[in-house]
Structures are given as C-alpha cells and as structure tokens.
Amino acid sequence: MKIFRWLWRLIWKTLLWFFVLSIGLTLLYRFVPVPITPLMVIRVFEQAFDSEKEVRLSKDWVPISEISKHAPQAVYASEDQKFLDHHGFDFEAMEKAWENNKKDKRVKGASTITQQTVKNVFLWQSRTYLRKGLEAYFTVLVELMWPKERIMEVYLNVIEMGDGIYGIEAASQEYFTKPAAKLSRNQAALIAAVLPNPRRWSPAKPTPYIIGRQAWILRQMNNLAPIGMGIEP
C-alpha cells in the first residue's frame, strides 16, 4: 500500500507543479517577449548535425505597434479567418479536416492562429495524442489570459518563416531588406503565402503556386474587414 500512496503523492505533486508552471509561464508571456521556442532549439540542433547547413537563428522581436497593418491582415486572411470570433478552436474547420483526412492519405490540419502560437511557444512538433492534449490545454489558457492582439503579436514574432528565420521582422529584413513596419500589402501576402511550408518555399523566389496563393490572400484581405492591428506602413 505504501507504494501506491507514494505514487499518488508523486502524481498529485507533478500535476500541481505542471499547472502552477504552465499558468505562470502563460501569464508571464502575456507581457514579456518570448525569448526562444522549442522549435527554434530543435532546428538549431538539426542544423548543427547537418554538414550541408550552417547553424542559423535569425529573430528580432518587435511589438505589433511596429509591424505593418498588412502583416496581421495577411495571416488573418490566409491562416484563420475566424480568428476574431472563435475561442481558440474552429470546430467547423476541424470537422471538415477530419472528413477530408479519412478520404486522403495526406493529413491536413485545421489549426487556428492561437493553436499555432501555442504549438510554437510551449510545445514540440508532433502528432501524438499527448502533444494534441497539451495543445488544447494551452490554447484554453492563452485564450483566457491573452487578448487577440497579443496572440497575433506573439504569433508574428515566433512563427517559422524560413530556414533559421523566425518572426515577421527577421523575414522582412531577409526577403525585402526593410523593417516589418514598412511591409506593403503584396509583400505581407507573399510572406503569408509560404507559411504552410516556409522551408520549402521562399518569398524571395516565389513559385507559380506561391504567386497564386499570394493573389488569393490579397483577394481575401480585400473581402475581410480590417482587424485593426499593426500600423500604417
């Protein structure tokens, strides 16, 4: 019986510390820039053990008040058009993805901007049930503790936008040699167009497919009401 009591205390204390640390970290990141993410660390290790690549970690945190309004509008149009209305989960999109994935071997997700932010800031890249469960937990925490503007600000600063390139400021400097505050509509839409696979595609060398995605995003940006984030470039 002692072993069961010991195991119960261990489980209880582990869960308690998990909730304290996860809630505390989520609250901290409500106000403090995210210094580094698990994905950044993983990519650095991948590069270090790949003789054909140099180790690169390019990132530069900027507040949303120093980001062109076209950047949040572009990812809003491209990644999650219900961003302002949902509470972290787009159940309609999840249902459609579930039905499509049963017919197609290529698994397609339905992650919202909040879920993508959570996955990048707190978790690792995998499709395990454990990671999915933690993603749902942190998504609820973030939606409770952060306003939508903060979620967008963190997303734009941590998302992978190229090989070793993270965040809208680093991407803007890399691809257009200008700060994120000066991005045009076309440039913001081009960056958003490569986000599904930023290590395969590049805004610097857009393929016909990416140019087509950019045109679609620009049309969506015209059709959607401005979300009121960012600044006039």
Do 20 and 92 share a structural domain? no
Do 175 and 151 share a structural domain? yes
Record the pTM.
0.90
Give residue 37's pLDDT: 96
The number of domains in the chain is 2
Higher pLDDT, 211 or 95: 211
Do 189 and 174 share a structural domain? yes
Does a structural domain hold residue 122?
A: yes
The token pair at 161 is: 């936008």
Task: Give the residue ranges of DSSP H helices in the chain.
Answer: 2-29, 38-48, 70-79, 91-103, 113-122, 129-145, 148-158, 168-176, 185-194, 208-223
Confidence at 107, pLDDT banded by 50, 70, 90: very low
Give residue 165's pLDDT: 96
Give residue 10's pLDDT: 75
Q: Is the pLDDT of residue 82 over 50?
A: yes
Query: What is d(CA 37, CA 40) in angstroms, rounded to the nearest whole number?
Result: 5
**pLDDT tens-digit readout, 173-207:** 999 999 999 999 999 999 999 999 999 999 999 99
Does a structural domain hold residue 230?
A: no
Does a structural domain hold residue 228?
A: no
Q: Is the pLDDT of residue 119 over 90?
A: yes
Does a structural domain hold residue 54?
A: yes
Give residue 101's pLDDT: 57
Any idea what the CATH number is for the domain that residue 56 is in?
1.10.3810.10
Domain that includes residue 149, residue range: 33-223
